[in-house]
Amino acid sequence: MVQATSAVLSKNTKAGSAVNGRDNGAAENVVIDCKIDNLYYGKFRAVRDSHIPVQQGQITAFIGPSGCGKSTALRCLNRMNDLVRGFRFEGHVHFRGRDIYHRSVDPVAVRRYIGMVFQQPNPFAMSIYNNVAFGLRLNRVKGDVPERVEKALRGAALWDEVKDKLKNSGLSLSGGQQQRLCIARAIATEPEVLLMDEPCSALDPIATRRIEELMVELKKQYTIAVVTHNLQQAQRVADMTAFMYVDTSQGARTGYLVEYSKTEAMFADPQEEYTKQYIRGEFS
């Protein structure tokens, strides 16, 4: 089943490119085309009308006030919301032109192509080495495991700090190192896309800058989508930015996409009033 799905997902076709907002360039390089018409948790409509493309080799930031659906939208991209009871989705998510919500697609295989790093560093209670090797074994990745572990740790800019203590617990590392270990675990299986849900929110400014530098380095090899509360972070790392807001007009709090554009353009010349206010810090 996983193999069949992998074959379907790896077929290299280009996704659709219709995008709301102004000219955002390079739309034909879309790797994930995410169009959320409606997304529900039980009866609650959490997100509506959000069309967010993720472009090849770029960093796309999801910004907006608390509760506008940034994490929900991000988790749609690799079917992490499937794990939530009552989750219901209307729309599509096309990965290289293929519908990842199609009934023939195994969500576990999707996550092999579209990996994820969470807000809180969450290393397993096992050695540094095994934290990285675990994902390889789980996904039955073939090849030289020690070599791949080293490659992933190097890719996450952690190798020099841990190469002499690979048998130590992953939990013995600092918060920033733990997050880089989680990034190593995520890239060990060589996904195409890396989703990062507020990866720096639990880190101090120095560890945050380290992760930001790493993200810029990683985008040479991976496409990245990141949720962040930190507008400066979005400006520093993101090529494209999606700004979401909360619609309270129907008596509920439903998130939606207000504006999507090149990051530079959004911060220099936001097109929508809510975007302007958010960027000016008038609400958070």
Ligand X SMILES: Nc1ncnc2c1ncn2[C@@H]1O[C@H](COP(=O)(O)OP(=O)(O)OP(=O)(O)O)[C@@H](O)[C@H]1O
Distance, CA of 124 to CA of 260 (rounded, Å):
36
Nearby residues of 216 by Cβ (< 8 Å), 6 or more positions away: 59, 237
* The one-letter amino acid at 185: R
**Tokens for 94?**
């096309």
49 vs 161 by CB, closer to ligand X: 49
Strands 193-197 and 223-227: parallel
**Residue 248 Cβ, how far from ligand X at the closest point, in Å?**
11
Q: Are strands 254-262 and 240-247 parallel, antiparallel or unpaired?
A: antiparallel
Cβ within 8 Å of residue 228, ≥6 positions away: 61, 62, 63, 198, 200, 234
Residue that the structure tokens 């060589």 belong to: 190
Task: Determine, following the binding rule CB under 6 A, whether residue 70 of this chain makes contact with ligand X.
Answer: yes
Q: Is 68 in the site for ligand X (CB under 6 A)?
A: yes
Cα–Cα dist 220/222, whole Å:
6
Report the nearest approach of ligand X to the CB of residue 32 (Å).
17
Q: Is 255 in the site for ligand X (CB under 6 A)?
A: yes
3-state secondary structure of 213: helix
Pick one of 145, 253, 271, 279: the residue that binds ligand X (CB under 6 A). 253
Nearer to ligand X, 80 or 114 (CB): 80
Stretch binding ligand X (CB under 6 A), from 66-74, 146-154, 176-184, 273-281: 66-74
For residue 136, state whether it binds ligand X (rule: CB under 6 A).
no
> Rounded to the nearest whole angstrom, what is the least distance from the CB of residue 164 to ligand X in the complex?
37
Q: Tell which one of 41, 118, 256, 267 touches ligand X (CB under 6 A).
A: 41
Closest by CA to 75, choosing from 39, 129, 128, is 39
Q: Which is nearer to ligand X, 132 or 226 (CB)?
A: 226
- Does 80 help bind ligand X (rule: CB under 6 A)? no
Q: Which of 8, 19, 46, 76 binds ligand X (CB under 6 A)?
A: 46
Binding residues for ligand X, rule: CB under 6 A, are 41, 46, 64, 66-72, 84, 229, 253, 255
